[in-house]
Each structure stands twice: as C-alpha cells, then as structure tokens.
Structure 1
C-alpha cells in the first residue's frame, strides 16, 4: 500500500496520546539522535528511569510543565509502505476547536481510551466530532492494557461498547477497528505482543500501513482556485496569461473542458505549466499555472472547475460552524466568509442548531454559538460563490469565517449541515 495517510489522534486527558505518537516515531526510526538525547535528559530530570516518549510531541513549554497536550502537534513519519502526517490533538473539552482543526483533513482517527476506565464521556464526544467532520475510519486504541494484566474480557467489553456507539454515529462495522496496545511498553504498536495471544488482528502500525485511503482526491472533480494571474509582458512572453494556484481536487490535462466560476465562462485548458516545464497531467496538491485557450476576464478568487461536474454557484448556504472565538455568534451577525482565495461579506440569517457535547444530541434554534461550540447555520452572501458539499470535496467545501473589523478568524465552516449524520441521543 503506497501513498500518504493523514491521521489524527484524540482521547481523554492522560489516555496516553502523546506517548503513543512518540512510540510510533521511535519505532519507525523517525527521531533524530539529538532529539532522543534531549528527551532522555528531560526524562532524567523528571526522575524517570525510561525515556518519556510523549516529550517528542508535547512541544509547548506549558504542555511539558502540565504533562498535557494543548496545541495541535503535527508530526511526519514514514515506513517503506506509506508516508504519514499525524495530528496529535488535545484531550481537554475546552480545546475542542483544536481537535476540529487537527482532524479536519484526517482520513483516519486513532481514538485512545485507558483500559482501566473504558469508554468515557470525552471518548463519545470526540467520536461524535469526528463523525461530524466526516472522518471515514476510526481506530480504537485500548491503551495501558499492561495495567489490566492484558485481560481479554476487559478489552472485549470496551471494544463492543465503542463499536455500538460508533454504529449509532453512522460508522459501518468495517470502518472501526479496536486494538489492545501499551504505548509505554510498545505492545501491538509496531510489533505484535506476546502478552496478547488472544488478539489476532494487526498491530497499529500495520493497520495504518494497509488501510485503504478513500476517496482519492485525484479522482474527484477538478477544482482550481485562482491565486494569482501571471502576465510577464516581456519580449520573450508578450502575450502570456497564466493562472497560478494549487489544485484543490481532481486532475487536469491539456484539452480538458473547464468552466470559470462564478462567471460561468466555458473554455479549454491549453497547457499546464510549472517551473520545470509543461505537464501532460497534474493532480490534487500540485502547484501549477494553467493556461486557457480563450482570453477571459479571470482574477484572484475565481475558480476553474470541471465543466462536466461543476460545483453549485449560490449566494446562500447551510453550513456547520466550529466557533473558535470568545466573541458570541448571534443571528443577524455580519461576517466575512473566506472560501479558497475569495472573500465575501456574509449575513448569519439563521442559527439552526447546536451540537450539545453533554447529551451528544442537537439543540434547535440556539440563541448563540460560544467558544468551542459546533452549530448549524444558514448564511446569505453578498455575491455568489461556487461551493461543494464538504462530504464530496473537503478542500472546496470548507471555509473560514472572519471578523470584518479586525480580520480575526471566528470559525471554521463546512458546507452542508452535518448533524443529520448523528443518530446518537436523538
């Protein structure tokens, strides 16, 4: 299995997320010698007899002092089979916004539970948030199995309880896997443990290496937000007109029919340029310059998309917001909406619902959205935007809500109301 897997970790405080990530980095030999030496010295200063691998991840001073994760820590590692981008997200309820940020691009999430405590309220919350974000696959890492003497019965109870909860959130049986692990000792993380002969499944690392990644963004409909218009006007390139940006989804080839939005102008791709020369094909994630066969009025903020599968162009939408600001959001608020490379004014026409993290249900018509809360809204835009539903195209189905006064980020938004995916508590 090749390619890149984006994954996130989540769980309650002290479940061992950072230790598990550190163990993965250590076992895949992704730690530099000087980093490991620094961890060993810090561990000795704490009076520990073995290296505290969580220090490889908890980088903020406040995190190391408290022994918790506050910010989202991104780590990169690879094996011969696959490369990984891992986001270690916070466990505290008050850092839900950081969890949303870290998991927003994840193709798989590893949820940790303490084998002594089992599935707790925060485990259910995180699973619900991951379902809202559309993370397609979950791994339940039942950590610290060494502290329950590797008891099979206890593991089975936890796995069944979480499986039932995941099913209520819309996860199918094959998309959730429970694995007994000890992040501290390494059991079933990268190597199979002799202490769990009753477990016949893969180790965590083997599962991450082989799990199917879907959908492939290269197979989605072509989406290309224009970031910059290149017009050299030199003797060598007197008539050159190229549109630079990063392909958000799909692939593009010379000759493809495309549509420029929101104008609705149809044309064809003449060539796809890079600093290393022209390409016959470019896919999602590639930064390229697209040349078109017709001279059109195109500027930063426009979207070049597949003519066969264009997004909807609309000036109103329903969306799911994760509120990131200490300022409250109320109906009638005027904000800025940044979608791709385009920013427009927007009006919060209706606060439709709010996700209640305590009951894991939705509250209709809330009075406001507060810091860390997730809610469904209806927005009216000052001008139409080409929008995809987040479930079909995460890159072009996501946006930011900004404060028109100071430009601060107020919320992360997903096109479409995601609460219908939740069956728990309703």
Structure 2
C-alpha cells in the first residue's frame, strides 16, 4: 500500500465519505429485509445478528483485519502483513490514491461488516446467539480478510497474477457469504418443521423497506468502489440501477409464468439478485451488459431458491440461492460482457476477448467458493463441538426473541392481547429460561 505525503482530492473524499455512509446503512437495511422474512418469534434475533456484526467486525478490522487485507503482501499473494495492526502509521495526512487512507479503510470496513451479516440469513431461527458472537470475528479473519487481499490487496494473487476482475465485491462479498452460508446451514441442519410447516415472511412491508434501503446503499457500494467522483463512478451507478430493475422484472416474469402471481417478496428478491450480480461487473460492462447481467440473475436466482427443497439443505432466507448464485453469475459474465472502455484493456467474449477472461473468472469463482465453504465448515464444526451452534429445541420452538433476548417484537403475538407487559413476566408465563 502506498502512503503518500500528498493532499487528498476534496471531491473524491466527499464522495467516498457519502459512499461509506451508504454502505454502512446497508446492514440495518439487511436487518429489516431479513427481519421481515422470518416468523414473528425470531424477528428481533434476526435484527440483532446484523447489528451486532457491525460492532464485532469493526473491532476485528481495526485490530488486524485492515492490515492483513490491504497491507503489503508478505505471503506470495495470500495475505498482507501486520504493519498497520491497530491502524498504526495511518494518520490523518496519509493518502490512499486520492482519498485519506483512514477513509479508505473505513469504506472497506463497511464491506466486511455486511458480508458477515449476510451469512445470518442462511441460519435464521435456529442458531445460538452466543455462538454467532464467536463465529463472526473468527470468520472475518479467516475467510473474508484473505479473500479481500487476494482480490483487492497489493500483490493479491487473483488481482495481480490471475488477472480476474471484480470491481465491487462479487468474490469477497457475495460468493464468500453464499458459500459460507451453505456450509453453516449444513453444520446446523434444517429448522424444526422444514418442508412440513409453513414458514412465510411475517412482514412483507418490512421486507420491501429493507430491500429499498439495500438498493439505496448499493449505489455507495458499487459507485463508491471507483474511489473517486468520476465517470467510472457514474457508469457503475447507472449499471447498478439498471441491473436492479432487470433483476426485479426477471424474477416477476418467472413468478407469473410459473405460479400465476407476481409477489412483493419476488420483487424485493429479484431486485437484490440483480444488484448482487452487477456488484462484480458494474465497473467492467456496458449498459447492455448490465441489462443482461441483472435479467439473468433475476431469472436464474428465482429458480435457485427452490433448490434447497430438492437437495435438502435449509438455507432459511435464500443466501445461497441469491448471493452465491447471483455472485457467480455476475462474476462469470464479466468474461462475456467486459468492454475495454470500462476495464482499460480486458475484453469479454462478445467483444473480441476470446475465452481467456472467462477462464480467469471461472478459476477465481471456483477457488474462492471452495475456500470459503471449506474454512467455514471447519469453523462451524469446531464451534459446534466446543460451545454448540444449534439453539435448544424448546428455545427454537418458542422463538429466539423470547428465549435469547427476553423481548418480543409484537406483544400480542405472545399473549394474544395488546396490553404491555415486562419481558420477565412473559418469560415466567412461558416457563422458558433465557439462553445463555
């Protein structure tokens, strides 16, 4: 990493400050999106899993994560050093490109936060909250940080040696969260009543609100990755909007054709699928490419979310079907639709680049997915053996809001009346001890 004794560009700095705030907002947006998709008895637990990820990942990132991801390479393209552990040497005058290094580090922190929070959707309704508090920092250091270095860090092997492209996080964010979510839900096993009981979203307006906040924040996620207020940021911004729209339309088309009804949940999920897919490619493809990337994700992901019933893995809120599948689609299609006007050189198959770039993208996708799945599965198995990952059966049946947090989102959902009561009296009435 280059630290220059230079002045940051004020326009670029102002844009990245705004983009950083937008990306941070995505995690509360995700909390609402996920919270609306679960049943009433686990809403608060779902919200807490996202919000606590902000605190946990921030501490880990400042202590060592940033230095390991973006410090000078010390292991042949695999990991950075600890020269900046605790943010050492990164004063207010140090500059990364045209922005303050501290701002760049904070911007990248917000990516790490939401990536960890995304995994929670795969294990909704059944994971111990205490185990999640241990899992998040360990996972961030062992999975997210190395992959971020490979893709974006100085000397990272995917960036410098393989030559695969990823503008805003298809590999470190979408594919790692999806593959990790798959691994963790396999370790935990399915929810009680999976494939037997109806597990419908309890609050679709909340889902739509969460999706809207995610979409809003995604402009900071993708356009902010240009790290400047420039034409590339504008192109990434428009591509992001476009792919979100075609993803939404593609999902609704499948629902109408398959089920006879376009749904609000489908609209929200389709928009997110399109946004997931355009994340790695928004800085590499033209507007036409963005249209196709979003549409492909909306159509394919709408089918992919049903794979869990056929293959018997309980990905509660479709992290695998949307984030893993969508991330793979968007990352691979760079090899088809990349244009040199965006990439500065690399071209996809449709623009005369042959199969070379597609091959590079395929290698990157495969390695990152296998690495994230394998390491997360190992972390999950270890934690399950040492402290236990799965909530007790009676806690899961009663609901994690009450048993873990001693609260309920809706009082009438517990007592059948709107009268306010204390958490302790509810627990007493239910004869359930809070989970430690």
**Shorter-chain TM-score category?**
under 0.3
Q: Larger strand proportion, structure 1 or 2?
A: 1
Greater relative contact order (Cα < 8 A, sep 6+) = 2
Which structure has the greater CA radius of gyration? Answer: 1
TM-score under structure 1 normalisation?
0.22
TM-score under structure 2 normalisation?
0.21
